[in-house]
């Protein structure tokens, strides 16, 4: 399979069949080979440096009912909360003092956060901290809404495509959600001018190697500025509670291939890699990831923002979350860098 990895490095694309063989036929040696190449590429472009972004999980209300997600509206065991503008701004103040220059505002699809309310929050953050970037991760909205939020100052938007196969998408989502709308959102975000992030879960129920090949092809064509890839983890209050964990090794392999395919992409080492005893996030950095997103949410609410079981860092405050990740990153010889860390074409 090394020949296919070299071909990807040279041509920045592969055929569907080659993606499938690479994904389904990979060995541990191939994973190491891809990781080494990806690491060389990211060190060449970024040095041994990792961008850090503070993530503020400001609402866990969600109108959707995605079958995998612990925030789905049917998850009755989840105590719901939303942060007010002042609480969000005080998280940013604390984050700014800790050195963050990107704030990621993430939440469920909560109708309380109308354009007006969300725009006011974005403007508030940008007014207080003009040298920061604001990333939104608040799901599917109208084009008009995305435009208003962009005009209010939002710089980036994360919206994972979850899976690039319509058939697979429909097995993970209820009938009222559509693959076409997901794709519409991603296209509009790009068109408006956001630095846009897509991405998928690895090992989600019903996923095949062919599906992952479709994901890689989609990423290849869409050319996002950011790619968020994490393993599926079951959540006890969802229909997928008994499904097995996605593979961290496969997740990291695909991340390496993303780095090889799109050298400059912003590629986070995602939190789901660090479930349980795993040190997946540092492994991911050594395999081409260059972003880490420590939690900046108030400690009291963290246990209620569970997309999956086993999420790390629930008992830590913002400073402790940053300190422990910083220590892990430094232990592998990398440095957390201050700065907005924008995508550079
Ligand atoms: N396991 C792993 N990732 C999940 N997400 C949601 N639920 C799960 C889960 N059970 C991911 C989705 C979503 C992102 C915010 O979290 O990909 O886009």
What is the predicted pLDDT for the residue at 161? Answer: 98
- Cα torsion at 168, 159, 181, 163 (round to 10°)? -10
Q: Is the pLDDT of residue 279 over 90?
A: no
| Lowest mean pLDDT, pick from 20-29, 42-51, 230-239, 335-344 | 335-344
* 165 confidence band (pLDDT: 50, 70, 90): very high
CA of 104 to the centre of ligand 1 (A): 16
What is the predicted pLDDT for the residue at 275? Answer: 86
Is residue 57 exposed (0-12), middle (13-18) or buried (19+ Cβ within 10 Å)? buried
What is the predicted pLDDT for the residue at 317? Answer: 92
Pocket of ligand 1 (CB under 6 A): 68-69, 160, 162, 201, 230, 232-233, 235, 272, 307-308
Strand partners for 56: 105
Q: Is the pLDDT of residue 174 over 80?
A: yes
CA–CA separation, 62 vs 51, rounded Å? Answer: 29
Atom of ligand 1 nearest to the CA of 308: 10
Tell me the pTM: 0.97
CA of 248 to the centre of ligand 1 (A): 14
What is the predicted pLDDT for the residue at 163? Answer: 98
Q: Is the pLDDT of residue 277 over 80?
A: no
CA of 232 to the centre of ligand 1 (A): 7
What is the predicted pLDDT for the residue at 210? Answer: 98
Q: Is the pLDDT of residue 276 over 80?
A: no
- Minimal-distance CA residue to ligand 1 atom 7: 69
């Amino acid at each position: 399979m090394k020949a296919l990895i070299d071909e990807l490095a040279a041509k920045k694309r592969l055929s569907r069949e080659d993606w499938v063989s690479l994904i389904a036929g990979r060995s541990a040696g191939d994973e190491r080979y891809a990781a080494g190449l990806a690491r060389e590429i990211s060190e060449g472009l970024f040095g041994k440096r990792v961008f850090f972004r503070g993530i503020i999980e400001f609402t866990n209300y969600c109108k959707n009912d995605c079958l995998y997600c612990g925030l789905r509206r049917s998850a009755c065991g989840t105590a719901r909360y939303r942060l007010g503008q002042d609480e969000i701004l005080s998280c940013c103040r604390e984050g700014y003092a800790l050195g963050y220059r990107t704030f990621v505002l993430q939440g469920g699809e909560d109708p309380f956060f109308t354009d007006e309310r969300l725009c006011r929050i974005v403007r508030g953050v940008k007014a207080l901290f003009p040298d920061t970037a604001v990333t939104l991760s608040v799901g599917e909205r109208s084009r008009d809404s995305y435009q208003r939020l962009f005009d209010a100052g939002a710089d980036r938007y994360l919206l994972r495509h979850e899976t690039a196969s319509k058939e697979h998408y429909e097995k993970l989502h209820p009938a009222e959600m559509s693959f076409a709308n997901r794709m519409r959102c991603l296209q509009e975000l790009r068109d408006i001018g956001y630095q846009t992030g897509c991405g998928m879960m690895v090992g989600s129920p019903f996923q095949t190697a062919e599906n992952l090949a479709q994901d890689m092809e989609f990423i290849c064509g869409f050319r996002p500025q950011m790619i968020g890839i994490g393993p599926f983890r079951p959540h006890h209050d969802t229909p997928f509670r008994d499904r097995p964990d996605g593979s961290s090794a496969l997740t990291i392999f695909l991340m390496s291939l993303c780095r090889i395919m799109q050298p400059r992409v912003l590629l986070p080492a995602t939190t789901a890699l660090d479930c349980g005893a795993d040190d997946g996030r540092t492994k991911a950095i050594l395999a081409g990831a260059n972003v880490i997103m420590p939690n900046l949410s108030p400690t009291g609410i963290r246990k209620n923002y569970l997309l999956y079981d086993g999420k790390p860092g629930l008992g830590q405050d913002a400073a402790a979350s940053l300190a422990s990740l910083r220590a892990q990153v430094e232990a592998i010889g990398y440095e957390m860098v201050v700065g907005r860390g924008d995508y550079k074409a």
